[in-house]
Amino acid sequence: MDLHSARARPTGVDELDRVLGGGLVPGAVVLLAGEPGVGKSTLLLEVAHRCAAAGRRALYVTGEESAGQVRLRAERTSAVHGELYLAAESDLAALLGHLDAVTPSLLVVDSVQTMACAEAEGSPGGVSQVRAVAAALITAAKERGVPVVLVGHVTKDGAVAGPRVLEHLVDVVLHFEGERASTLRLVRGVKNRFGPADEVGCFELRDDGIAGVADPSGLFLTPRETEVPGTAVTVVVEGKRALLAEVQALVAPSSLAQPRRAVSGLDSARVAMVLAVTERRGGVALTGSDVFTATVGGMRVAEPAADLAVALAVVSAVCDVALPPHTVAIGEVGLAGEVRRVTGVGRRLAEATRLGFTRALVPPECTDRIPDGMRVTEVPDLGAALRCIAGASSSRRAAGGAQQR
């Protein structure tokens, strides 16, 4: 393969191209892994359609649904095209036969778990079957110089043999994430042999198909006129992108011997650590209370930079006092209660400023450029952050009182 043909070709789905590092490389094998119903088939049908619409033939092979079902989806999402070939097939040899007959510029296999390889042992979806199917498709992709996208199923507990054993075989691994209750979907690069592996693409899953969301930052915030207790906004960095994220907390007296600690969208181990530090170093009593923490809009936040916002949301919930308006909190919280430096503070502040935030709590020794209109307070530890918030809240109350008089 010469250098030119190894170059990535845009799929036409911009948010996906961003994650892929430009597009699909001929001969590359991409694994798109996601939970049932998250929208894998919808996204890949759209990719196949864009490919066909650009004059390059696409073959979409499904072992999950009938060709009629896929056709119905294609009609619903306006993805019907003469150069988009659909095949309902679950036999690997037959699939390779279709590949030879159609000679597409893109092959989509939905899903790798439903394809059966006659030479391998076990039932479809089992480790040896999945391995054999993937190996054959990888060989076919490299021989023909055709990019192949494989759908891989993961279950909530991740127990099914499949994507995990595939991850080191394929060139690119993408995770498709989203909550059922929300229409927002994220495609996250996990591994990429041809480009950056830490990008995210944002999509909205609608009745008429899936659409890229080029400016997703505001989606993870609750639109509201006045601030409410128990919420804090932070800025996380996903790849090259800074995204605002809202953390919510609810703290209620518990009747249980072991109070509940429910976490949604955040890393539960980190939240447990932040709660312990908040209690020990911040002097906020949480023992005997149920604590619920969550993100807004189905966003998953695992970055330590969100620690400070988690702590502030919890304290705000306990005290039933809202944080000052238009404030973001950025920083990792250490076990000693110190607020630690995080990367990309300048980029995070720029994004917060763009979305109308005017105040930020950041770790000490911030050397990044501070955007115009942003007032930054460096907080060396959790105690300082709490004092800063309490000061702003009480002066706001006083100012509010003065106005009323």
Ligand X SMILES: Nc1ncnc2c1ncn2[C@@H]1O[C@H](COP(=O)(O)OP(=O)(O)OP(=O)(O)O)[C@@H](O)[C@H]1O
- What is the contact surface with ligand X in residues (CB under 6 A)? 34, 36-42, 64, 76, 153, 205, 207
Residues 96 and 116: their CA atoms lie apart, in Å, by 12
Q: Of 35-43, 139-147, 358-366, 397-405, which segment contacts Mg ion by CB under 5 A?
A: 35-43
288 is in the binding site of which of ligand X, Mg ion, none (Cβ under 5 to 8 A by kind)?
Answer: none
Nearest partner of 358 among 346, 375, 339, judged by Cα: 375
Q: Of 41-49, 72-80, 159-167, 335-343, which segment contacts Mg ion by CB under 5 A?
A: 41-49
Are 351 and 242 spatial neighbours (Cβ–Cβ below 8 Å)? yes
106: CB partners within 8 A, 6+ apart? 24, 47, 48, 51, 56, 57, 58, 59, 146, 147, 148, 149
Least distance to ligand X, CB of residue 104, Å: 20
Residues 151 and 59: their CA atoms lie apart, in Å, by 14
Residue 96 or 205 having the CB closest to ligand X: 205
Least distance to Mg ion, CB of residue 282, Å: 46
Least distance to Mg ion, CB of residue 396, Å: 50
316 is in the binding site of which of ligand X, Mg ion, none (Cβ under 5 to 8 A by kind)?
Answer: none
* Encoded tokens for 102: 């159609």
Q: What are phi and psi of 220, to 5 degrees?
A: -95, 15
Residues 71 and 90: their CA atoms lie apart, in Å, by 17
Residues 351 and 368: their CA atoms lie apart, in Å, by 13
Q: Of 36-44, 276-284, 307-315, 353-361, which segment contacts Mg ion by CB under 5 A?
A: 36-44
Nearest partner of 43 among 265, 202, 172, 240, judged by Cα: 202
Residues 102 and 82: their CA atoms lie apart, in Å, by 12
What type of residue sits at position 281? R
207 is in the binding site of which of ligand X, Mg ion, none (Cβ under 5 to 8 A by kind)?
Answer: ligand X
Least distance to Mg ion, CB of residue 202, Å: 20
Residue 394 class from Cβ within 10 Å (0-12 exposed, 13-18 middle, 19+ buried)? exposed
Least distance to ligand X, CB of residue 296, Å: 20
Least distance to ligand X, CB of residue 44, Å: 8
Residues 88 and 357: their CA atoms lie apart, in Å, by 51
Residue 46 or 171 having the CB closest to ligand X: 46
Least distance to Mg ion, CB of residue 60, Å: 11
49 is in the binding site of which of ligand X, Mg ion, none (Cβ under 5 to 8 A by kind)?
Answer: none
Residue 113 within binding range of Mg ion, rule CB under 5 A: no
Least distance to Mg ion, CB of residue 66, Å: 12
Residue 41 or 183 having the CB closest to Mg ion: 41
Residues 291 and 268: their CA atoms lie apart, in Å, by 12
Q: Which of 11, 41, 129, 192 binds Mg ion (CB under 5 A)?
A: 41
Residue 26 or 162 having the CB closest to ligand X: 162
Residue 68 or 391 having the CB closest to Mg ion: 68
Residue 177 or 307 having the CB closest to ligand X: 177
What type of residue sits at position 267? D
Residue 34 or 337 having the CB closest to ligand X: 34
Residue 105 or 113 having the CB closest to Mg ion: 113
Are 215 and 234 spatial neighbours (Cβ–Cβ below 8 Å)? no
- Cβ atoms within 10 Å, residue 186: 22
Residues at the site binding Mg ion, with contacts judged by CB under 5 A: 41
